[in-house]
A and B are shown apart, each in its own frame.
Chain A
Amino acid sequence: KQEVTQIPAALSVPEGENLVLNCSFTDSAIYNLQWFRQDPGKGLTSLLLIQSSQREQTSGRLNASLDKSSGRSTLYIAASQPGDSATYLCAAPLGGGADGLTFGKGTHLIIQP
């Protein structure tokens, strides 16, 4: 059964800094991995979807990488802004023939103005 771990659990940095959020997964036989953002009291918003054949995906100031062999993905946020404050979740397929995604517990990010 797939397990997803995210480090750090929480992060607080000054505005303008570049930062990296880490995600690791136990079952490397994945065909994609997704990063989501969750604002307090809200649902999840998909940020980036990386197919297993890809090494990275970029959207604006966000860049996500995927290394299946090591079971890791990173989300890089450039020039952070207060509006980036949210919880960032990594998700990988459940595996074992089951449908659905399994999520990490997220990284709670605070960008200080």
Chain B
Amino acid sequence: GAGVSQSPSNKVTEKGKDVELRCDPISGHTALYWYRQSLGQGLEFLIYFQGNSAPDKSGLPSDRFSAERTGGSVSTLTIQRTQQEDSAVYLCASSHNRGLSGNTIYFGEGSWLTVV
């Protein structure tokens, strides 16, 4: 596709419910990242996928958070038993190769999650 696509763009959910956020990276990009941006805060790294390698989950804040990437393309971030502090913008990004080595990283416009 033309850019990183995320859905839903907005989600309001009740505390305790599970939510799934979807990311469709740019075609051909092997690296995929999830970040979280809370109101007034910086971006917080959550998880990184690179090709078929085991993901780097070092940023996931709790075991309520999980992510998968099927077929090396689309990724889903799942938050179980949502809490109000999970309210944030969840941003997905992709890059052509291992982004850290110098490839430009492209971000989607985010999924705005509100837990009430």
Residues of A within 8 A of B (CB): 4, 31-32, 34, 36, 41-46, 49, 51, 89, 91, 93-94, 98-106
Contact = CB atoms under 8 A, between A and B. Distances in A.
Contact of A100 (B59, B102, B104, B107): B59
B42 A32 contact: no
B107 to A, nearest CB: 4
B110 interface: yes
Interface residues of B, number: 26
A22 to B, nearest CB: 15
A49 B107 contact: no
B25 interface: no
A72 B12 CA distance: 40
Nearest to A39: B109
Contacts of B93: 43-44
